[in-house]
């Protein structure tokens, strides 16, 4: 038989009062003595329930504007003394310290205060001291004490009070303690990360209080979990549960589509764009994005930066797509796209994304700034005798955005703001180019007058020569090779234009 311990006394000190009325009434019904502070004491008394102030235990009032209320041996002693330790019991008796068997506390809303845009002084005042100390003390002594660290555990506590009439097992108390340390570590991480925006201490701390179990990871034999709040990113209107691979592709799709201001469609397959087009009209953008590779588009993730209208939805519905993500949908458009049972339809929200990215590597974590640099006409350096025409500059910048979001080594061929062919994830730049050319020819594109973009420099002139032989007349690349002059000289001999960006866009 497991040993059950009764809850005879409780300390309640909370910032949010919602739900405390139910708990306080149940505790009173079980004959539990309640201690409380300030506003919580007033709230419990307003319910017509007996309650004792913490000040009557400590003989000290709340001081320093409420910064010090519960930090006293009479409170922490009542939580931390070991009920099976004779020395602790004797000291408790000597100092007349009351026993506290249950601690219900929550923390000042530090994270929400930061995200609200509050000033530094207000943020600092929302760093909880007494509450976090009570949580750690009660959780440490879980052998004897129950800790309820947030409103998220109220339901579990109420069930426990109903089912066991105010008694708890060691397993019950251990589970609440684990929840408490989860919350306290998250809270401290949030505070550290706020300070570290300025301090720049070389430490890595990321914490998420929300987890979504996925069907599996990248493959069925791998477990997968998403830590974060997807409800802040999008609303799901239709379709099956989102998978691990879906989320990876959505990250790629959103990162790419957010680079464009005019109506644009991107079609993503395994994080790489197989279709991309920007047009004045959304319907045409869809048709031209799909034309880039209608074979690979099958089962892809489709992203756009405009509300999808009925006419566009009718065209899109002809293709099997796993996911569509857009800022919105016209009513009829949404109904059309819902015609496929499992198709996932997402509507974006105005979510803020982290400026850094990280991944596990060997026995640690790799962290870097996201590649948020996007070239402009002013940032291009013409290195050939012939300068690109204005329309070519537009295409060069379009192609460079596309290649930036492909796996390296990557080459993009584009014309009139349409992706004609791409080679990505190749071990050689020449192979990436050949693949892009083959893709363009496979779907009937004329490469005459098209442009070429490379995510990194050309070590030799061979890629430029191959491009020229297939109709390419303008090139954008970072430059930086010791043999840049070879490529530049070839362009000059054949009246091609080439611009350097000075920025490499490797993606692994």
pLDDT digits (tens, 9 = 90+) for 300-325: 999 999 999 999 999 999 999 999 99
Phi and psi (nearest 5°) for 316? -65, -35
User: How far is Cα 326 from Cα 301, in angstroms, rounded to an integer?
Assistant: 11
Q: Read off the pLDDT band of 58 (50, 70, 90).
A: confident
Summarised one tens digit per residue, pLDDT across range 103-138 is 999 999 999 999 999 999 999 999 999 899 999 999
The pLDDT tens digits of the residues spanning 426-461 come to: 999 999 999 999 999 999 999 999 999 999 999 999
Selecting among 72, 140, 164, 237, the annotated active-site residue is: 140
How far apart are alpha carbons 94 and 290 in whole angstroms?
Answer: 81
Percent of the chain with pLDDT over 70: 99
Mean pLDDT of 368-379: 95
Among 90, 341, 129, 344, smallest CA distance to 234 is for: 344
Mean pLDDT, the chain, integer: 95
User: Residue 1: pLDDT above 70?
Assistant: no
pLDDT reported for residue 338: 97
SS3 letters across 30-58: CCCEEEECHHHHHHHHHCCCCCEECHHHH
pLDDT tier, 56 (very low <50, low <70, confident <90, very high otherwise)? confident
What pLDDT score does 236 carry?
A: 97
User: For 353-365, what is the mean pLDDT?
Assistant: 93
Res. 61 pLDDT band, cuts 50 70 90: confident
End-to-end CA distance of the chain: 56
Q: 3-state secondary structure string, 293-348?
A: CCCCCCCEEEEECCCECHHHHHHHCCCCEEEEEECCECHHHHHHHCCCCCCEEEEE
> DSSP secondary-structure letter at 90?
H
**Which of helix, strand or coil describes residue 61?**
coil
Residue 409, preceding peptide bond in cis (omega within 30° of 0): yes
pLDDT tens digits for 249-280? 999 999 999 999 999 999 999 999 999 999 99
**Which one of the listed residues 17, 205, 237, 270 is annotated catalytic?**
270
Q: Is the pLDDT of residue 419 over 90?
A: yes
Say whether 270 is catalytic: yes
pLDDT at 352 over 90: no
Listing DSSP states for 389-404 in one string gives PHHHHHHHHHHHHHHH
Q: List, in order, residues 6 or more apart from 34 with CB less than 8 Å away.
A: 9, 10, 11, 12, 24, 27, 28, 44, 49, 50, 51, 52
435 is catalytic: no
Over residues 394-418, the mean pLDDT reads 98
pLDDT at 261: 96
């Amino acid at each position: 038989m497991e040993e059950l311990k009764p809850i005879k006394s409780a300390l309640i000190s909370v910032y949010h009062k919602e739900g405390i009325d139910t708990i306080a009434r149940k505790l009173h019904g079980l004959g539990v003595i309640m201690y409380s502070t300030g506003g919580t004491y007033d709230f419990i008394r307003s319910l017509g329930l007996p309650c004792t102030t913490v000040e009557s235990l400590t003989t000290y009032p709340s001081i320093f504007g409420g910064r010090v209320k519960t930090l006293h041996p009479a409170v922490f002693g009542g939580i931390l003394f070991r009920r099976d330790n004779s020395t602790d019991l004797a000291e408790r008796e000597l100092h007349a310290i009351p026993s506290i068997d249950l601690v219900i506390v929550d923390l000042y809303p530090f994270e929400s205060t930061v995200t609200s845009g509050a000033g530094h002084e207000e943020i600092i005042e929302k760093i909880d001291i007494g509450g976090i100390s009570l949580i750690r003390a009660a959780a440490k002594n879980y052998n004897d004490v129950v800790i309820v660290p947030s409103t998220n555990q109220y339901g579990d506590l109420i069930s426990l009070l109903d089912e066991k009439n105010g008694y708890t097992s060691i397993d019950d108390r251990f589970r609440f303690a684990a929840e408490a340390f989860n919350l306290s570590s998250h809270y401290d991480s949030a505070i550290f990360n706020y300070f570290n925006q300025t301090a720049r201490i070389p430490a890595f701390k990321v914490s998420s209080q929300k987890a979504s179990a996925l069907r599996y990871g990248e493959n069925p034999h791998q477990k997968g979990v998403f830590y974060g709040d997807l409800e802040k990113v999008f609303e799901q209107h239709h379709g099956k549960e989102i998978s691990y691979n879906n989320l990876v592709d959505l990250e790629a799709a959103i990162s790419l589509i957010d680079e464009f201001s005019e109506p644009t469609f991107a079609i993503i397959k395994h994080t790489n764009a197989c279709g991309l087009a920007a047009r004045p009209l959304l319907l045409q953008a869809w048709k031209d994005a799909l034309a880039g590779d209608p074979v690979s588009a099958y089962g892809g993730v489709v992203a756009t930066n405009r509300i999808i209208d009925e006419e566009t939805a009718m065209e899109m519905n002809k293709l099997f797509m796993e996911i569509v993500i857009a800022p919105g949908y016209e009513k009829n458009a949404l109904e059309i796209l819902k015609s496929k049972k499992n198709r996932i339809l997402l509507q974006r929200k105005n979510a803020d994304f982290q400026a850094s990215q990280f991944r596990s590597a060997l026995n640690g974590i790799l962290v870097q700034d996201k590649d948020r640099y996007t070239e402009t006409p002013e940032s291009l350096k013409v290195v050939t005798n012939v300068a690109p025409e204005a329309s070519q500059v537009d295409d060069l910048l379009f192609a460079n955005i596309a290649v930036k979001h492909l796996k390296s080594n990557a080459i993009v061929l584009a014309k009139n703001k349409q992706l004609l062919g791409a080679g990505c994830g190749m071990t050689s730049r020449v192979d990436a180019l050949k693949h892009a050319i083959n893709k363009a020819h496979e779907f009937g594109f004329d490469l005459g007058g098209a442009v070429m973009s490379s995510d990194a420099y050309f070590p030799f002139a061979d890629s430029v020569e191959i491009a020229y032989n297939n109709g390419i007349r303008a090139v954008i690349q970072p430059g930086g090779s010791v043999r840049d002059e070879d490529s530049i000289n070839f362009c000059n001999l054949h009246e091609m234009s080439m611009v350097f960006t000075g920025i490499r866009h490797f993606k692994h």
